[in-house]
Structure 1
């Protein structure tokens, strides 16, 4: 493989016509130029110059390399400019995979901050629920994934993945606005033991069943759906009550539904996951930083 310094020196020798002139142009000594050209000739395996009186003449191999040297140097300069843009966050691309309520709340605000600070960084948004979203990260299909886990559920995080905790999301009990318990600020799950229930996504559903079991009852589940709008619409029609992460109600709240804090309190942990080696990539680190900022502002909302 050619040494880029030798190619640059060779190009200057060809341009100026002699070792001494190239040495003056590059700020080297003439012996240093001579040594570099000997090293380059060893790399290519054939002489590049022959003597022609006091000057130099390119061999056939030298002429071939001369035709490519300028292109090589231009390509290297372009590569340096692109690398500089990436490290200085003037460019870059990050693939971010998040679950639906995070994509509707945390992600847009974070992308707004990122666009203001680093408009050259592009973000591709993907959507998936954990644990599949974490598998997509490991498979290389995304650079950052946002996931959530409830108490007692330990995420199986591979060694090469770093978890970055963002926030805890309070679960709320959803009631029809005319429900007698809707006047309370908080509602005990046990007080709703006799109600019909609408259950949400599989991971939320498992946590919900455990929470009810801890309160001493098995819920009568009338409907199950992954669609948060459908859950609220069913509650609004009086077809049941539900338990839903509070983050959902930050962007999607049916006017005929009341959300009340559940007792005992129930929270899910929201985290970002990234391959450890990608933490050093400037664009990835910038996206993580903005997600942390937005999540910190959401705490207590």
Structure 2
């Protein structure tokens, strides 16, 4: 295999026509140039120069290498420049796979911060619920996954029999579950709602993974919920609750998305919540673009938690 330094020196010898002139131009001794060319000839397996009077003449092999030398050096320079741009966060791409609530709340704030500070970085978003988002990470379809886990139903990575081996988790925020009620509901004026008080209600359930946590929480409260509707669409949940079709448990992080009038959100007593985390493959957390996104996600999550602490939960 050729040494790029030897290729660069070879190109200079071709340009100047002698080892002595190349040594002067590059600041080496003439024996050093000669040694480099001997090493290049050993790698090539054939002589590249022959003496022609006081100068040098390229052999047929030397002419072939000379034709490629400029392209080789140009490709190396381009690759070096692109690598420097990535390490300096001047360019790069990171693919994020997240669940819908995160794509609608946490990710926009994160992408905006990245675009403002590093406009050359491209963030691409995919949407999957856990554990499918973690499967996408393992399969190489994304570089970073956002997932949630809860006290009911186990860890997000283990929900379908997977383990978190080989993954690095960075917890971002604790996301409490809220009861979404019509404004005229009997518990709408309460500061919080006990799950056991809602045994007779009809429910609107969310995604399969969320529904498992919800059913487990109800079981701990001593009842099996009457699930009348199931939808992953946050807007549909709002419309159904407002229409009196049922009530729902919604993640606290989605409260800023409530747009329907006549809805209230109340925290549960005892509290039920989930942990939202970012996951990357082990060893990838130090990659410059990935590390940037992890830092920015952490900052955006902290801002979201601060905003949620003062969010008015009695109106939408």
Query: What TM-score does the superposition give when structure 1 sets the normalisation length?
Result: 0.97
* Aligned partner of residue 261 in structure 1, secondary structure: strand
1:139 maps to 139
Corresponding position of 1:264: 270
**Counterpart secondary structure, 2:77:** helix
The Cα offsets for residues 103-125 of structure 1, whole Å up to 9 and x where unpaired, read as 01000000111011110000111
Range moving further from structure 2, 83-92 or 60-69: 60-69
Superposition map of 1:76-155 within 5 A:
76-152=76-152, 153-154=154-155, 155=157
Distance 1:133 1:199 in 2: 20
| 2:58 alignment counterpart | 58
Determine the structure 2 residue equivalent to 1:212: 218
- Is the 8 Å Cα contact of residues 180 and 249 (structure 2) preserved in structure 1? yes
Aligned-residue offset at 1:242: 1.3
Provide TM-score, normalisation by structure 2.
0.93
2:284 aligned residue: 278
Distance in 2 (CA, whole Å) between partners of 1:29 and 1:36 is 11
Could you tell me how far 1:280 is from its partner in structure 2?
2.1
User: Aligned to 2:203, which of 175, 197, 203?
Assistant: 197
Q: Name the structure 2 match of 1:289.
A: 295
Q: CA deviation at 1:201?
A: 1.3
Partner of 1:14: 14
What does the per-residue CA deviation read over 1:131-177, in whole Å, with 9 as the maximum and x for residues that have no partner? 01100100000000100111141233442211111001011001111
1:218-259 deviation per Cα after TM superposition (whole angstroms, max 9, x unaligned): 222222222222122111111211111111222234212111
Partner of 1:47: 47
In structure 1, what is the equivalent of residue 190 of structure 2? Answer: 184
User: 1:73 maps to what in 2?
Assistant: 73
Structure 2 CA distance, aligned partners of 1:67 and 1:195? 80
Cα separation, 2, equivalents of 1:57 and 1:212? 87
Give the secondary structure class of the aligned counterpart of 1:66.
helix
**Secondary structure in structure 1 of the residue aligned to 2:248:** strand
CA contact (8 A) 2:238 2:258 kept: no
Q: Runs of 5+ in structure 1 lacking a partner? A: none
Cα RMSD (Å) of the superposition?
A: 1.1
Q: Quote the offset at 1:181 in angstroms.
A: 0.8
Structure 1 residue matching 2:188: 3-state secondary structure: helix
Q: Displacement, 1:82?
A: 0.6
